A and B are shown apart, each in its own frame.
Chain A
Amino acid sequence: MLAVSTVDLARIQFATTSLYHFLFVPLTLGLAPLVAVMQTIWYRTHDEGWLRLTRFFGTLMLINFAIGVATGLVQEFQFGMNWSVYSVYVGDVFGAPLAMEGLAAFMLEATFLGLWLFGWDRLSRRVHLATVWLFALGTWLSAFFIMVANSWMQRPVGSTVTDGRAELTDIWALMGNRLALHAYLHVVLVGLTTAAVVIFGVACWHLLRGRNVDLFRKAALLALIVGVPISALNLVVGSRLGIVMTDYQPMKIASTEALWDTQQPASFSIFQIGGFTKDDQTPSFSIEVPKLLSFLATGSLNGKVVGINELQRQYEAQYGRGNYTPPVRTTYWAMRIMAYFGSLVFMVLALGGFLYWRRKLERARWFLWLGILTIPLPYLAALSGWVLTEIGRQPWIVFGLLKTADANSPSVSTTTIASSLGIFIALYAALLVVDFVLMRRYARLDPPEVGGEGDEMPLPAVSY
């Protein structure tokens, strides 16, 4: 019989619900400011094309946001439900940014989204424009507090351990965590990139069909203006995050690179077969770039990158006997999927920019198809990024302080978690299917007409 422990099930449930939640977060993070930009252009130029685009992409944003809210509630409850020891241990520190997220950010999002959605005919144009910007501000603030909370688990700062639990000692150190600032920047850039890719992909579909061409050329241009530099910048920020992470969790980096022995300079493995376990440390096949890993991990071409074996010995001396090596194969591939797809996204967008500049975009049908097919890539990259971040921290739940295996709820039985996991998987799968069908349908509609007869209230196509 397969032995699955309560902790394993709780971890699978957390991974499932978090990754699912993060299917919706980046698009909201990115679409909110971009829809606000569209509405701002309309406000400034009175060009109704931009109003139609605002309504069109606003609808997609709403469908997406609703599920994000529902799955976010699961996230908040889950800490206490499945991880009660963790919750008691970290609540003093971790709870503060979480509570502030609710009060400062989530409240702003939910209230101003309602105002934006139903306020088209009740508010002046200027105030109504402010509501969408405040909604966008809410989504970005929300991401900040969440990244502060997560980064504390990666690098606990501003706290001490007293009487067997962590206590907050310096809120500014917590908020100003160097890791949090990098991770936050990375997340919002991922959001913008995702939204740019989605807008661009949808625009490609409409350009292929040859309808509303003027309109979607505008949308494509906006997506490219945002997407090309942002996706490039994101690659830089992502690598930078790797360097910062090396300072605090060298094991995560060593595991990500399947680097068993310390190297100076260290070469970067592009692709390898084998070499992922303690008993099989040498790959049977690999393609490597000399010195690149030194550069990625330390910022210098000749930097020393400490290997898994040395770190394992060091941690055993520091924390006692145990396995301090995360699953090497998983982290290795998670990082590569993230980085390769992230780079691919940049290349597609850059090529799109080139074609647009040469006025060839609409005629390059193969490229328009490529634009549509690119839509899943930022999602896969973002999910892989989280897999890397969280799995790479194992066996710790709070790095250096608390192990995952010691953090779950003792009163919750294996059967209970197994059934709740089953329920969540079934419910989430059903939601995903319907959400996909809805998004697809609304992404294929003609953007709503405005200014015609009987259309005094230019609302997004959401109603009850």
Chain B
Amino acid sequence: MDLEVFWFCVVAVCWAAYFVLEGFDFGVGMLLPFLPRGAHGEEDRRTMFQTIGPVWDGNEVWLVVAAGATFAAFPTWYATMFSGFYVALLLILVLLIVRVVSFEWRAKSESPRWRWVWTWANTIASVGAPLLWGVALASLLYGLPLDSDGGFAGDFADLFSLYSVFAGIAVVLLFAFHGAIFLTLRTTGELCDRATRASRRLALAAVLLTAAFLVWTVAVAMDRNDKDLFPPILPAILGIAALILAAAFLVRAQNGRAFAMTALGAIAVVATLFTSLYPRVMVSDPDFGNSLTVDNASSSHYALEVMTIAALILVPLVLLYQGWTYYVFRRRLGGEPTVTS
């Protein structure tokens, strides 16, 4: 396999890991103001924060690695995408910074108003960031105006098409669904019941919208990126099947399996997008010939070789210790806070 193709896959894997992992912590963040009710409200919100507390930071690093891998392996792609998505990325950065701060500072004061502010800050960031990522990644495929040097020649409005906005909404719903199921696995008692009800309520919308997005993606790939039905249809079908299974497992109260299926669904979304893109990394519209491809946007062979060796050593190691983290924190969290200040 060409190293360019390998690194295209590495970037896709980083995004997939980001969608699966940060997907559920975004989902938990979205549900923060809605699940906790009544006298135990604050306690439940703290429990929700704690379910993702040990892991959200590690999850977010996959985004750092995705960006770093793109920079190193496809400098032209990185440069055009990041300068072209300027406003969207600026908004994402602001949202992610606000979210980091909400995690760290929310519990630092007892005042209910302070906590209300940071709860909502987290929720807004948890909705806004994946929405914008959905829009941005989908517009890579839908097409953006590029000049003959592969530079960006449009503006912020070019990111928004019916398709890309639909992508953003589908990603948000998928993450909310994914996060709700995660909560049913990590909590007990009434909070767990509420999370179960929320996940069932979200199921229909999340499955339908994501499935529609996957089908639409294959259509866009054929229509605007010169692709055949095969292979993008494969991950799309896989994703639709996984999400239907997730809903089915949920009905049968097999939440662990349901979570595995929403994770697979998140992977399928990234996989469908990237197989639809290949061999291009940014589709140019209207001048299709200006599109960036894995070949014309990539680094030199030697640089790719060096990084391939580094990645082959490091990625398994990272997966191993991140997996171990989840094993260490596998215990459910009850209403009683296990972390005291």
Name the B residues within 8 Å of A99 (CB-CB): 65, 68-69, 71-73, 307, 310
What residue in chain B is nearest A123 (Cβ atoms)? B328
Check if B251 is an interface residue, CB within 8 A of chain A.
Answer: no
Q: Are B310 and A464 in contact (CB under 8 A)?
A: no
- Residue from A72, A76, A165, A434 whose CB has the most chain B CB atoms within 10 Å: A76
Q: Which single member of B87, B303, B307 contacts A416 (CB below 8 Å)?
A: B87
Interface string of A95-127 (1 = CB under 8 A from B): 110111111101110111111011101110000
Q: Are B152 and A411 in contact (CB under 8 A)?
A: yes
Q: Are A416 and B86 in contact (CB under 8 A)?
A: yes
Check if B253 is an interface residue, CB within 8 A of chain A.
Answer: no
Q: Which single member of A100, A115, A165 contacts B328 (CB below 8 Å)?
A: A115
Interface string of B46-82 (1 = CB under 8 A from A): 1001100111011011011101110111111011111
Check if A290 is an interface residue, CB within 8 A of chain B.
Answer: no
Interface bracket on A: 35 or more
Check if B161 is an interface residue, CB within 8 A of chain A.
Answer: no
Additional A-B contact list (6), CB under 8 Å, known A80-B79, A457-B338: A70-B101, A71-B97, A123-B328, A167-B300, A416-B87, A464-B46
Q: Are A411 and B84 in contact (CB under 8 A)?
A: yes
Check if B151 is an interface residue, CB within 8 A of chain A.
Answer: yes
Interface string of B152-178 (1 = CB under 8 A from A): 111000000000000000000000000
Q: Are A92 and B83 in contact (CB under 8 A)?
A: no
Q: Are B299 and A101 in contact (CB under 8 A)?
A: no
Name the B residues within 8 Å of A87 (CB-CB): 71, 75, 78-79, 82
Compute how far the CA of A129 lies from the CA of B97 in the bound complex, rounded to whole angstroms. Answer: 29
Name the B residues within 8 Å of A113 (CB-CB): 57
Name the B residues within 8 Å of A100 (CB-CB): 307, 310, 314
Q: Are B86 and A412 in contact (CB under 8 A)?
A: yes
Name the A residues within 8 Å of B46 (CB-CB): 463-464
Smallest CB separation, B8 vs chain A (Å): 14
Name the B residues within 8 Å of A305 (CB-CB): none
Q: A77-B93, A462-B341, A463-B341 are in contact. Are A438 and B108 (CB under 8 A)?
A: yes
Compute how far the CA of A87 lies from the CA of B297 in the bound complex, rounded to whole angstroms. Answer: 12
Q: Are A409 and B83 in contact (CB under 8 A)?
A: yes
Count of residues in B whose CB is under 8 Å from the partner chain = 72
Can you sample 5 A-B contacts with CB below 8 Å?
A: A73-B96, A95-B73, A103-B69, A104-B314, A462-B107
Q: Are B61 and A411 in contact (CB under 8 A)?
A: no
Check if B5 is an interface residue, CB within 8 A of chain A.
Answer: no
Name the B residues within 8 Å of A85 (CB-CB): 79
Smallest CB separation, B189 vs chain A (Å): 18
Check if A88 is an interface residue, CB within 8 A of chain B.
Answer: yes
Interface string of A427-464 (1 = CB under 8 A from B): 10001001000100100000000000000010101111
Q: A114-B58, A420-B90, A461-B341 are in contact. Are A101 and B68 (CB under 8 A)?
A: yes
Q: Are A464 and B106 in contact (CB under 8 A)?
A: yes
Q: A70-B101, A92-B300, A438-B108 are in contact. Are A84 and B151 (CB under 8 A)?
A: yes
Name the A residues within 8 Å of B303 (CB-CB): 92-93, 95-96, 167-168
Check if A62 is an interface residue, CB within 8 A of chain B.
Answer: yes
Which 7 pairs from chain A and chain B are nearest by CB? A91-B75, A80-B82, A95-B72, A464-B49, A84-B79, A87-B79, A409-B83
What residue in chain B is nearest A97 (Cβ atoms)? B72
- Residue from A66, A114, A412 whose CB has the most chain B CB atoms within 10 Å: A114
Q: Are A84 and B299 in contact (CB under 8 A)?
A: no
Q: Are A111 and B322 in contact (CB under 8 A)?
A: yes
Compute how far the CA of A76 lies from the CA of B69 in the bound complex, rounded to whole angstroms. Answer: 11
Compute how far the CA of A441 lies from the CA of B108 in the bound complex, rounded to whole angstroms. Answer: 10
Q: Which single member of B58, B69, B75 contacts A88 (CB below 8 Å)?
A: B75
Check if B260 is an interface residue, CB within 8 A of chain A.
Answer: no
Q: A66-B104, A110-B61, A464-B103 are in contact. Are A96 and B72 (CB under 8 A)?
A: yes
Check if B6 is an interface residue, CB within 8 A of chain A.
Answer: no
Check if A63 is an interface residue, CB within 8 A of chain B.
Answer: yes
Name the B residues within 8 Å of A410 (CB-CB): 151
Q: Are B61 and A464 in contact (CB under 8 A)?
A: no
Q: Which single member of B93, B311, B321 contacts A111 (CB below 8 Å)?
A: B321
Compute how far the CA of A241 lies from the CA of B57 in the bound complex, rounded to whole angstroms. Answer: 35
Compute how far the CA of A162 lies from the CA of B84 in the bound complex, rounded to whole angstroms. Answer: 25
Check if B148 is an interface residue, CB within 8 A of chain A.
Answer: no
Name the A residues within 8 Å of B230 (CB-CB): none
Compute how far the CA of A79 lies from the CA of B82 in the bound complex, rounded to whole angstroms. Answer: 8
Compute how far the CA of A210 lies from the CA of B244 in the bound complex, rounded to whole angstroms. Answer: 65
Q: Are B340 and A427 in contact (CB under 8 A)?
A: no
Check if B89 is an interface residue, CB within 8 A of chain A.
Answer: yes
Q: Are A118 and B299 in contact (CB under 8 A)?
A: no
- Residue from A66, A70, A112 whose CB has the most chain B CB atoms within 10 Å: A70
Q: Are B104 and A103 in contact (CB under 8 A)?
A: no
Name the B residues within 8 Å of A111 (CB-CB): 57-58, 61, 318, 321-322, 325
Smallest CB separation, B15 vs chain A (Å): 14
Name the A residues within 8 Å of B339 (CB-CB): 118, 457, 459, 462-464
Check if A90 is an interface residue, CB within 8 A of chain B.
Answer: yes
Q: Which single member of A73, A122, A420 contacts B64 (CB below 8 Å)?
A: A73
Compute how far the CA of A33 lies from the CA of B338 in the bound complex, rounded to whole angstroms. Answer: 27
Name the B residues within 8 Å of A162 (CB-CB): 300
Check if B229 is an interface residue, CB within 8 A of chain A.
Answer: no
Q: Are A103 and B315 in contact (CB under 8 A)?
A: yes
Residues 103-137 of B at the A interface (beta carbon under 8 Å): 103-108
Q: Are A412 and B83 in contact (CB under 8 A)?
A: yes
What residue in chain B is nearest A82 (Cβ atoms)? B83
Q: Are A463 and B107 in contact (CB under 8 A)?
A: yes
Check if B34 is an interface residue, CB within 8 A of chain A.
Answer: no
What residue in chain B is nearest A438 (Cβ atoms)? B108
Compute how far the CA of A399 lies from the CA of B61 in the bound complex, rounded to whole angstroms. Answer: 31
What residue in chain A is nearest B76 (Cβ atoms)? A88
Residues 140-170 of A at the B interface (beta carbon under 8 Å): 162, 165, 167-169
Q: Are B340 and A95 in contact (CB under 8 A)?
A: no
Compute how far the CA of A416 lies from the CA of B91 in the bound complex, rounded to whole angstroms. Answer: 12
Name the A residues within 8 Å of B57 (CB-CB): 69, 110-111, 113-114
Check if A423 is an interface residue, CB within 8 A of chain B.
Answer: yes
Interface string of A413-430 (1 = CB under 8 A from B): 000100010010001000
Q: Are B306 and A103 in contact (CB under 8 A)?
A: no
Compute how far the CA of A412 lies from the CA of B84 in the bound complex, rounded to whole angstroms. Answer: 8
Q: A107-B61, A171-B306, A431-B101 are in contact. Are A92 and B299 (CB under 8 A)?
A: yes
What residue in chain A is nearest B45 (Cβ atoms)? A464
Residues 296-341 of B at the A interface (beta carbon under 8 Å): 299-300, 302-303, 306-307, 310-311, 314-315, 318, 321-322, 325, 328-329, 331, 337-341
Smallest CB separation, A166 vs chain B (Å): 10
Name the A residues within 8 Å of B315 (CB-CB): 103
Check if A81 is an interface residue, CB within 8 A of chain B.
Answer: yes
What residue in chain A is nearest B313 (Cβ atoms)? A104
What residue in chain B is nearest A434 (Cβ atoms)? B105
Name the B residues within 8 Å of A81 (CB-CB): 82-83, 85-86, 89-90
Compute how far the CA of A122 lies from the CA of B324 in the bound complex, rounded to whole angstroms. Answer: 12
Check if A74 is an interface residue, CB within 8 A of chain B.
Answer: yes
